[in-house]
Structure 1
Amino acid sequence: MSKIKVGLIGANGRMGKAIIQVLAASQRSVLSAAVVKEDSVYSGFDSGIHSGIKETGIIFSSDLEEACKNSDILIDFSAHTGFAKNLEIAVANKKPIVIGTTGLSDSEKNQIKSAAISIPIVFSPNMSVGVNLLFKLTEIAAKVLQDGFDVEVLDIHHRHKKDSPSGTAQHLKEVLLKALERKEENVIYGRHGMYPERDPKEIAMHTMRAGEVIGDHTVFFFSPEERIEISHKAQDRKTFAVGAVKAAEFLKDKTKGLYNMFDVLGI
């Protein structure tokens, strides 16, 4: 059986390198295109050598239209600024796409929903298998603990990360709001200065950006008698890359629709 041909957008970034490494070892999928920004200094470089593996013969290029011709499925881990154009080209070429770009606005998320009417899409704030278990365990804990516990969320990432809170932390917030039947007005982002006693329905979001931390997320549930912590700590970006490739393979036989990693993993 022929391998699934995967075109990678944002191929020269940290996640791009990890996905190229995973695809090089995959039994089901293969890298078919490596797309970078038009002004990228990496244009013309071999994607494999840049990613620390042997030469792949797939050269970095800014031609997404050509990438679509050579690919069955696209994975997009590019910068937020190119998201809309990438999605538009995917729809025009009827190419399934996995979207791992973070920091998207509500309007851009609505663009994804509209595009999913025409093509199949996996969109998730985090592709890691472990992180998606974190989402599920957080949902279960919140439904069991309900209003008897104070809730805090902490996300820690490397000093280069631009969006804050992270997409993963934002999704944890959404999981908590739904499970606890609360609203955005119950959420605070960090603390500074003097505050009255904590509102029992408050959900607090905290962010740290330092060093080279790949990604740590913890949800805390505090009661007067006990504390529960549900954590995920990424030790290698390959955990996200493996999930992204799983998502691409999941889309192979899909014709349209919007999916998340729960669908991919069957949880």
Structure 2
Amino acid sequence: MSRKNRVAVIGASGRMGKAIIQVLSQSKLSELSASVVSKGSVYLGLDSGLHSGLKQNEILFSDDIAKAISESDAVIDFSIREILPEVLEYCKASKKPVVVGTTGLVDSHKELLKETSKTIPIVYSPNMSIGVNLLFKLTEIAAKVMGDLADIEILDIHHRHKKDAPSGTAEKLKSILLETLGRSESNIVHGRQGILPERDPKEIAVHTFRAGEVIGDHTVYFFTPEERVEITHKAQDRKTFAVGSVKAAEFLIGKQKGLYDMFSVLGL
């Protein structure tokens, strides 16, 4: 039997890190090789398997990013955007492919991803869920058919702890609509308040809810005078993002340098 792919997880003690470790524990193709947490973390030295609700795996939480990456076949990063440059630098130095699922990235981070992808293969997506990427594709199809006939709204619902708003997924939906319909940021409205004029036909509104413990719900609405089309994805378990992340890491192994997305991973 051939050796399993060794996958290092950066941000391993968080919600997504725990889910990825759980998925890796059941994978036939890949296994956890390192679990990295931030410097000074209270989890340093603890067993990552036990922390993730599994049996002991003897892979302790560490803050040694360089060692974790150098000893892996692929890296999955779900940490924080502030350390993304460091993660990418170590991946580039070790020539290791990396899946970036960290949210809240700004233009400078995205430019850094593009630049680093000239050296190593990278998968970057604002959402690793297989179902959400179908949502992206269906939104593109609906926009081509209905976009110039319909009023369009995006609804983004997440748990009360989420820091970025709108979500990366909502931002991706927005960019798909703008690109497909040839519109610009000037057509985007975030919420509404006060006495407003009649809606501009090219307007696209983005609404954000942050409440309770919702894992992640996204809906794109297309309203015409005669009908309404709603395209919705509701995450029921964070493992959906973890399954996609591990699939992306496995996709990258052996790939040429370049910046890939989940459409590439899923063949969409």
Range of TM-score over shorter length: over 0.9
Cα distance in structure 2, aligned partners of 1:177 and 1:69: 40
SS at structure 2 position matched to 1:148: coil
Cα distance in structure 1, aligned partners of 2:215 and 2:69: 30
Quick one: which amino acid aligns to residue 20 of structure 2?
I
Cα distance in structure 2, aligned partners of 1:56 and 1:225: 57
Mapping of residues 98-247 of structure 1, within 5 Å: 98-247=99-248
Quick one: which amino acid aligns to residue 135 of structure 2?
L
1:254 paired with 2:247, answer no
Cα distance in structure 1, aligned partners of 2:150 and 2:253: 43
Alpha-carbon distance, 1:255 to partner: 2.9
Alpha-carbon distance, 1:92 to partner: 1.6
SS at structure 1 position matched to 2:175: helix
Match of 1:93 in 2: 94
The answer to which of 117-126 and 72-81 deviates more is 72-81
Quick one: which amino acid aligns to residue 195 of structure 1?
L
> TM-score when scaled to structure 2?
0.99
Give structure 1 regions of 4+ aligned residues with deviation exceeding 3 angstroms.
none
Cα distance in structure 1, aligned partners of 2:256 and 2:140: 30
SS at structure 2 position matched to 1:193: coil
Cα distance in structure 2, aligned partners of 1:48 and 1:192: 48
Give the share of equivalent positions with the same residue, in percent.
Answer: 65
The one-character-per-residue Cα deviations of 1:136-186 (angstroms, maximum 9, x if unpaired) are: 000000000121100000000000000000000000000100111111110
Cα distance in structure 1, aligned partners of 2:177 and 2:261: 17
Alpha-carbon distance, 1:195 to partner: 1.2
Quick one: which amino acid aligns to residue 46 of structure 1?
D
Quick one: which amino acid aligns to residue 217 of structure 2?
D
The one-character-per-residue Cα deviations of 1:216-248 (angstroms, maximum 9, x if unpaired) are: 000000011111000000000000000000000
Whether the 8 Å CA contact 2:70–2:96 is kept in 1: the answer is: no
Quick one: which amino acid aligns to residue 206 of structure 1?
H
Cα distance in structure 2, aligned partners of 1:73 and 1:185: 40
Structure 2 residue runs without a partner (length 5+): none
Match of 1:49 in 2: 50
1:3 paired with 2:13, answer no
1:61 paired with 2:62, answer yes
Whether the 8 Å CA contact 2:6–2:33 is kept in 1: the answer is: yes
The one-character-per-residue Cα deviations of 1:64-93 (angstroms, maximum 9, x if unpaired) are: 111012201000000122112111211122
Match of 1:26 in 2: 27
Cα distance in structure 1, aligned partners of 2:203 and 2:23: 41
Aligned length: 267
Cα distance in structure 2, aligned partners of 1:92 and 1:167: 28
SS at structure 1 position matched to 2:147: helix
SS at structure 1 position matched to 2:99: strand
The one-character-per-residue Cα deviations of 1:111-139 (angstroms, maximum 9, x if unpaired) are: 00000000000000000000000000000
Whether the 8 Å CA contact 2:19–2:242 is kept in 1: the answer is: yes
